[in-house]
Amino acid sequence: MKNFFTKGRIAVLVIISTLIIDQVIKILVKTHMYLHDCIFPINSWYNIYFTENNGMAFGMELFGKLFLTTFRIAAVAVIGWYLVKMVKAGAKTGFIVCVSLVFTGALGNILDSMFYGVIFSESTPYQLATLFPSGGGYAPFLYGKVVDMFYFPIINTYWPTWMPFVGGQHFIFFSPIFNFADSCISCGIIALIIFYGKYFNSSFRQLKKH
């Protein structure tokens, strides 16, 4: 059984399982929630808030949509190449898992951009999206929107009125709305920095030698 869980198979298992989770969550949200709808508010700190964006992780929007989608595809290709090289080089299992998470997160958002505009009808505040609509999707290939839903306003309050400039204004700490794929990217990168910073640098030096 030990020989079954090779580093390559572990990478494949991480990629497939996290990608399935990401897409299942997005499809459920897309087909069961209205745009900008908020459900399951456990408390003021945790909400499921459905929104879509044309940009990168956490709703950032830079440059044009086609550029961003093309950039994502190129980035995933590079990360995938690097992951294969590290598996063949016998890299540490934890390192493989972290890189696999980053790869899967980027891939998950690419699928939204590539296919969601083709296979879904448009989500609006008054209409639920349908999968494979008879009239076609809401956007051409590569122009789909990324589905986001996790909203964690850790601090949601107002500045004291006596404070200069910002007194009485609404203040939210950590306002981005993100998805499971974004979480995979963030967790993978943070773990790489904390646990494998030196190993990450040495792996690049090994690749340059080859």
* Secondary structure class of 140 (helix, strand, coil): coil
| CB neighbours of residue 2 within 10 Å | 5
Yes or no: say if 148 and 53 are a contact pair by the CB < 8 Å rule. yes
What are the catalytic residues? 148, 182
How many DSSP H helices and E strands does the chain contain? 5, 6
Residue by residue, what is the 3-state secondary structure of 155-168?
A: EEEECCCCCCCCCC
Which segments within 21-137 are labelled E, that is strand? 38-43, 46-53
**7 and 79 Cβ atoms separated by less than 8 Å:** no
